[in-house]
Structure 1
Amino acid sequence: MTEKQIIECVPNFSEGRDQAVIDAISEAVRGVSGVRLLDVDPGPSTNRTVYTFVGSPAAIVEAALAAARTAHRLIDMTRHSGSHPRMGALDVCPFIPVCGVTVAECVKVAKEFGRRLAGELDVPVFLYGDAADKGDHRKTMPQIRAGEYESLEKKLQDPQWQPDFGPSAFVPRWGATVTGVRKFLIAYNINLIATKEQAHRIALNLRTQGRGNGEVGRLQNCQAIGWYLEERNMAQISINLTDFDVTPIHVAYEEALKDAAALNVPITGSEIVGLVPLRSLLQAADYYIDREGLFILEEEHKLQLVINRLGLSQLAPFVPKERIIEYCLAEGDPSLRSVGPLGRGSVAALVRGVAARTAAPGGGSVAAAVAALGSALGAMVGQLTYGKRQWEEHDAAMRSAIAPLHRAAFELLPAIDNDTIAFSKYMSASRQSASTASEEALKEAAVAQAAIETVLVPLGVMRSIDAVWPQLAKVAALGNINCRSDVQVGARCLETGAWGAFYNVSINLDNVIDESQRLLFSSEAETLLKKAQDGCRHVLSIVENRIA
């Protein structure tokens, strides 16, 4: 199965007040086949609108060009003013790899867009980020945009600032555009009841460059500025987090809280501009769960916690399905985005597929499904124990047991489809035609790799099962005794899943060419099966001793 190629494009246009212009650009994007417009976020004070859309490499370029053509017709930079730094009608147009594409492929996309934009509209275009190749002095947006639109005419006369594409001449109505490739940039605003000066003072303390006098700020990969929103009668610290793994959202928020408290000004919440990666919010959830000693399992509940702690719905409701990029791209239940159609479908559909006259889905998929149910039963019994007064002395033990069982249940679901996919890849590789020696070598390599995948999927199921026996034993020993049959069924399901996965490892080992790999896989599978048998016997004996 070939992974779909998806690139995100987040162009910033210098118009945030004229709804007709904003809508016209939106319609231009929507008019391109193969592209989904995910978000449109205008700002009257900044006089800027951020668009977010996704599509294939070819489609994303066409959509960005369509939006730019519309902006070229409707936006006049000679009349523009706003609180956000800017240098052009289409100020910046970054491309971000989402799935199935590399940074290098996105660089090609950005350069194609820049070349075509300059050629069609006769405007200057600069490259930044991973696409920049004319020196370190023009890698980042602050470097390129320094002086903004007002100094652009003079800047273009400097040999150091010749555009990558298009004319060096100043185009008054347009200005200049910057395009390139970057990681997910999180545009994040923190709301204060304060003055613009107080907000900016905090921003200077936080941002990486500090006050620009050699004294750096506290946060890395952080750009920040303070401004005042007249239409909302409040100040904001406007932050760009250019690497949220280095400086996560919650870190920026908590650091701003410290400075605001020192100035005796209140922070009343925050907002995310455009879309945000799910992982960045789950980072924040883990932080608050750990800090406050909370017990939260479901992804939905973790997101509710973050929305509350960061005040993300103060200015407008934060709707996860509309604001988290993985949710926007997911079909069906977003919490099952990594699960294929078999695992996501109904039990009846899975049974029907297994019962059909086809080799897949087969025993490997069934083994994964049964194991997932076994782990889920353990989590269920734990949750029917936790928080109940008669077993409250075991709350801590249940908290430690439930989370791994719950996690394993959902981690096993993708294997239902992955087993079928691995089998199909092996069969497809085996059927490749090869009329030359080089083609035969390529076929042999593809078959060998596919054979290993058919072993790794069921072996992964066995590893997941092995990890939860201690937790299931804890539930068996301390959990709600009225649910003992559920623990017993869960143990048998996990053991059956291990047996089913073992059988699939064994039969697929015949196709693995490398003898040393065969021996390693076989040894591990036999060890995991023995541990599953012992684990099941141990759990059942615990239950039996409790009711004896």
Structure 2
Amino acid sequence: MKKIVECVPNFSEGRNKKTINAIADAILQTKGCRLLDIDAGNSTNRTVYTFVGSPEAVVEGALSAAVVARQKIDMQTHQGEHHRLGALDVCPFVPVANVTMEECVDISKEFGRRLAENMGIPVYLYEESASLEYRKKLSQIRDGQYEGLKDKIITKEWKPDFGPAKFIPGWGATVTGARFFLIAYNVNLLSTPNQAHRIALNLREAGRGKDKPGRLKAVKGMGWYVDDYNLAQVTVNLDNYNVTPPHLLFEEVKKDADKLNIAVAGSEIVGLVPLEAILMAAEYYIEKEHLFVLEEDQKVRLAIERLGLNSVALFNPKEKIIEYIIAEEKNEPLAGLTVRKFIEEVASRSSAPGGGSVAATVAAMGVALGSMVAKLTLGVRKFEHLDIKMRDLIPPLHHAAKALIPLIDDDTHAFKEYVQALGLPEETRAQKDFKLETLQQGLKTAVEVPFTTMKIADAAWEAMIETARYGNMASKSDVQVGAMALKTGILGAYQNVVINLPDIMDKSFKDKTLKQAKDMKIRAEHKCKKILEILDSRTS
């Protein structure tokens, strides 16, 4: 799987469009880099770029952007509301996919070393890359800002990690490092900047000093006035959204604003945001307001509405949520077919798609029928007394149906990979060993895919039983068909498990898998029978 790293360089220029575009072009023209967002602020005179790529590509992209900044930005004339230390003020590297924090630490050090060597620039390391505790935080390194750097950099305590320990007037210094995904988040207030700052001091971790810490951890912030919006903001960096997510900050601002008789006018996310943080907000409001929302896109819409993310600029999930931006097209050629085409493909003279794909399809359709009946019971006036029960039953059925869909293609992919392994050369001892290892792994995959089908389908039985017991009897036959389809899907997947087990040499894997598969097969027969008996006994 691809390694993806996010790089979020902050440049001290937010007004000169030619400079902003030139830096963007440098990133765009770097092979392997994908520029996701450009957020320029006139009042802050600062632009935040967000791009992703492989570990090697993001280093090259950041270096290319820095070269342009050296030519275009002169810190001697820079003025802006945001704290800053240099032309390329800070350049963090963030793990996104299949990359560890340790790898990002190495990436940041590689970037810092090369930036210093190539351009003679002082570079400091921060966050996970820092080796000195007293200069681990960005605020510690930025203390005194660009104007104070001249005297600070020549001291022993503030010798740069890379580059010369001298003041470069046109540049200043750059801070780089690896960090968790930082969310730049602003809550809008119809207030004075002093009132906004007062609230920020109440909330940010540092508070008003050592003796008066703020209420929220992993939050840096201040209050200011944004002329472009004609309103004040509590502007924060959420260093770890698992500690303090955006919705918690928003709700705490609302509490303090209420005490001061100040109106909250929505909020904004500067740059990009992880999907998880948005879904956390959605789940918070779903629980708080006793809502019932299943679909991801509806949860995203709820979070946008409750946080007021469209208040000062359009929040387009496809352009703001990082997972949606970098998402690759699903490799599901079978699941994407029409029903007619899928059946014709199965009926063709080809061994794939075969029984495993059909088993996953049938199991998915069985669970889907249960989900349908539960949803047709929810919200109907005559069944209002069952709403709470249906809210419990629908999610496992709904999610199981969705989880089974990718397995339709996974089974065919596994079969094709095994067939390809059969064609590997075996002329030398090394080739024979490699082929044997590849074939064994291929067999395990060929077992694990239908075994996963069984596990997902098996987990749906209790919800199916309760749907049979309480669901709308007008859909009795749908639950009957669903139960039999679910059983058939599990039994079909079972056959695809046992047919591939004999040639697997790992006895422990083989024995454990076979026992669990047999248990699920027996359970499927019993549970289906129970559902049919329940339905036959119901009169209403």
TM-score tier by shorter-chain length is: over 0.9
5 Å matches for 1:51-70?
51-70=49-68
Q: Look up the SS of the partner of 2:377 in the other structure.
A: coil
Aligned twin of 2:464: 472
CA–CA distance in structure 1, aligned partners of residues 428 and 205 of structure 2? 58
1:312 equivalent to 2:312? Answer: no
- The equivalent position to 2:158 in structure 1, one of 140, 157, 161, is 161
Q: Quickly say closer, same or farther: Cα 1:320–1:137, change in 2 above 3 A.
A: same
Q: Which amino acid aligns with 1:273?
A: V
Q: Cα distance, 1:425 vs. partner? A: 5.1
Q: Quickly say closer, same or farther: Cα 1:362–1:9, change in 2 above 3 A.
A: farther
Q: Which amino acid aligns with 1:392?
A: E
Q: Look up the SS of the partner of 1:509 in the other structure.
A: coil
Q: Which amino acid aligns with 2:324?
A: Y
Q: Cα distance, 1:178 vs. partner? A: 1.3
CA deviations on 1:93-127 (whole Å, 9 max, x unpaired) are: 11112112222332332222222222332211222
1:295 equivalent to 2:292? Answer: yes
CA–CA distance in structure 1, aligned partners of residues 112 and 132 of structure 2? 18
Instruction: Confirm or deny: 8 A CA contact 1:269 1:314 kept in the other structure.
Output: yes
5 Å matches for 1:192-203?
192-203=189-200
Aligned twin of 1:459: 451
Aligned twin of 1:546: 538
Q: Which amino acid aligns with 1:409?
A: A
1:228 equivalent to 2:225? Answer: yes
Aligned twin of 1:486: 478
Q: Quickly say closer, same or farther: Cα 1:538–1:111, change in 2 above 3 A.
A: same
CA–CA distance in structure 2, aligned partners of residues 352 and 177 of structure 1? 61
5 Å matches for 1:149-548?
149-331=146-328, 340-347=332-339, 350-351=342-343, 354-355=346-347, 359-424=351-416, 426=418, 448-546=440-538
Q: Quickly say closer, same or farther: Cα 1:423–1:159, change in 2 above 3 A.
A: farther
Q: Quickly say closer, same or farther: Cα 1:440–1:331, change in 2 above 3 A.
A: closer
Aligned twin of 2:22: 24
Q: Quickly say closer, same or farther: Cα 1:431–1:206, change in 2 above 3 A.
A: farther
CA–CA distance in structure 2, aligned partners of residues 331 and 194 of structure 1? 43
Question: Could you state the TM-score of these two structures normalised by the residue count of structure 1?
Answer: 0.92
Larger displacement relative to structure 2 (19-28 or 538-547): 538-547
Q: Quickly say closer, same or farther: Cα 1:502–1:317, change in 2 above 3 A.
A: same
Q: Look up the SS of the partner of 1:118 in the other structure.
A: helix
Larger displacement relative to structure 2 (68-77 or 160-169): 160-169
Q: Which amino acid aligns with 2:200?
A: A
Q: Cα distance, 1:493 vs. partner? A: 1.9
Q: Look up the SS of the partner of 2:463 in the other structure.
A: helix
- The equivalent position to 2:123 in structure 1, one of 119, 122, 125, is 125
Q: Cα distance, 1:59 vs. partner? A: 2.1
Q: Which amino acid aligns with 1:415?
A: L
Larger displacement relative to structure 2 (168-177 or 25-34): 25-34
Larger displacement relative to structure 2 (478-487 or 14-23): 478-487
Q: Cα distance, 1:355 vs. partner? A: 4.9
CA–CA distance in structure 2, aligned partners of residues 114 and 220 of structure 1? 29
Q: Which amino acid aligns with 2:32?
A: G
Q: Which amino acid aligns with 2:472?
A: N
Instruction: Confirm or deny: 8 A CA contact 1:78 1:173 kept in the other structure.
Output: yes
Q: Cα distance, 1:344 vs. partner? A: 4.5
- The equivalent position to 1:137 in structure 2, one of 128, 134, 137, is 134
Q: Cα distance, 1:177 vs. partner? A: 1.1
Q: Cα distance, 1:526 vs. partner? A: 0.9
Q: Cα distance, 1:375 vs. partner? A: 1.5
CA–CA distance in structure 1, aligned partners of residues 368 and 46 of structure 2? 48
Q: Look up the SS of the partner of 1:53 in the other structure.
A: strand
Q: Cα distance, 1:347 vs. partner? A: 4.1
CA–CA distance in structure 1, aligned partners of residues 259 and 119 of structure 2? 50
CA deviations on 1:390-438 (whole Å, 9 max, x unpaired) are: 3223222222111111111112223223334444555566666678878
CA–CA distance in structure 2, aligned partners of residues 84 and 125 of structure 1? 20
CA–CA distance in structure 1, aligned partners of residues 482 and 528 of structure 2? 9
CA deviations on 1:248-292 (whole Å, 9 max, x unpaired) are: 221111122222222221211111111111111111111111111
CA–CA distance in structure 2, aligned partners of residues 247 and 525 of structure 1? 42
Percent of matched pairs sharing the same residue:
51
Q: Cα distance, 1:513 vs. partner? A: 2.3
- 5+ residue gaps, structure 2, are none
Q: Quickly say closer, same or farther: Cα 1:177–1:490, change in 2 above 3 A.
A: same
Question: Could you state the TM-score of these two structures normalised by the residue count of structure 2?
Answer: 0.93
CA deviations on 1:476-512 (whole Å, 9 max, x unpaired) are: 2332333333222222221111012111221222233
Q: Which amino acid aligns with 2:390?
A: M
Aligned twin of 1:107: 105
Q: Look up the SS of the partner of 2:266 in the other structure.
A: strand
Q: Which amino acid aligns with 1:523?
A: K
CA deviations on 1:63-120 (whole Å, 9 max, x unpaired) are: 2222222222211111111121111111111111211222233233222222222233
Aligned twin of 1:38: 36
When the two chains are superposed, the root-mean-square deviation of aligned CA atoms in Å is 2.4
- 5+ residue gaps, structure 1, are none
CA deviations on 1:339-370 (whole Å, 9 max, x unpaired) are: 74444554456446545665544322222222
Aligned twin of 1:80: 78
Instruction: Confirm or deny: 8 A CA contact 1:465 1:532 kept in the other structure.
Output: no
Larger displacement relative to structure 2 (384-393 or 267-276): 384-393
CA deviations on 1:10-39 (whole Å, 9 max, x unpaired) are: 111111122222222222222223222111
Q: Which amino acid aligns with 1:505?
A: V
CA deviations on 1:187-235 (whole Å, 9 max, x unpaired) are: 1111111222221121122112222223322211111111111222211
